[in-house]
Amino acid sequence: MTEPINVQQEQAIIIGAGPCGLSAALELQAVGIEPLLIEKNAVVHSIYQYPTYMNFFSTAERLEIGGIPFTSPNDKPSRREALQYYRDVALRRKLRIRAYEAATAIVPQPDGSFRVETADRFGGISVYATRFVIVATGYFDHPNMLGIPGEDLPKVTHFFGEAHPYTGMKVAIIGGNNSAVDAAMELLRVGADITVVYRGEEYSSSIKPWVRPLFEGSVKNGQIKMLFSSRVVGIGERTVTVQPEGENTAPYEIENDFVLALTGFRPERTLLTDAGAIVNAETTVPSFHPETMETNVPGLFIAGVIAAGREANEIFIESGRHHGNLIAQRIKELM
Q: What's residue 310's pLDDT? A: 58
Residues 6+ apart with CB under 8 A from 213: none
pLDDT digits (tens, 9 = 90+) for 171-194: 999 999 989 999 999 999 999 999
Domain range summary for the chain, segments of one domain joined by + = 8-142+265-334, 156-261
Q: What's residue 63's pLDDT? A: 92
Share of the chain above pLDDT 70, in %: 95
Q: What's residue 314's pLDDT? A: 45
Task: Please name the CATH architecture into which domain 8-142+265-334 falls.
Answer: 3-Layer(bba) Sandwich (3.50)
Say if residue 317's pLDDT is above 80.
no
Q: What's residue 114's pLDDT? A: 98
Count H helices and E strands in the chain, helices first: 8, 15
Q: What's residue 233's pLDDT? A: 97
Which of helix, strand or coil describes residue 14? strand
Q: What's residue 5's pLDDT? A: 59
Say if residue 25's pLDDT is above 80.
yes
The string over 185-206, giving b where at least 16 C-beta atoms fall within 10 Å of a residue's C-beta and e elsewhere, is bbbbeeebbbbbbbeeeebeee
pLDDT digits (tens, 9 = 90+) for 45-56: 989 988 888 888
What is the distance between the alpha carbons of residues 251 and 227, in angstroms, rounded to a whole number? 13
What is the distance between the alpha carbons of residues 184 and 173, in angstroms, rounded to a whole number? 7
What is the distance between the alpha carbons of residues 51 and 72, in angstroms, rounded to a whole number? 19
Q: What's residue 321's pLDDT? A: 86
- pTM score: 0.86
Q: What's residue 204's pLDDT? A: 92
8-142+265-334 against 156-261: fold identical: yes
pLDDT digits (tens, 9 = 90+) for 146-157: 999 999 999 999
pLDDT digits (tens, 9 = 90+) for 258-315: 999 998 877 778 899 999 999 988 888 899 999 999 999 999 999 998 887 655 554 4
pLDDT digits (tens, 9 = 90+) for 247-257: 889 999 999 99
Q: What's residue 283's pLDDT? A: 81
Choose the CATH number for 156-261 among 3.50.50.60, 3.10.20.600, 3.40.109.10, 3.90.930.12: 3.50.50.60
Q: Give the mean pLDDT of 83-93.
A: 96
Contact between 51 and 186 (Cβ < 8 Å): yes
Say if residue 136's pLDDT is above 60.
yes
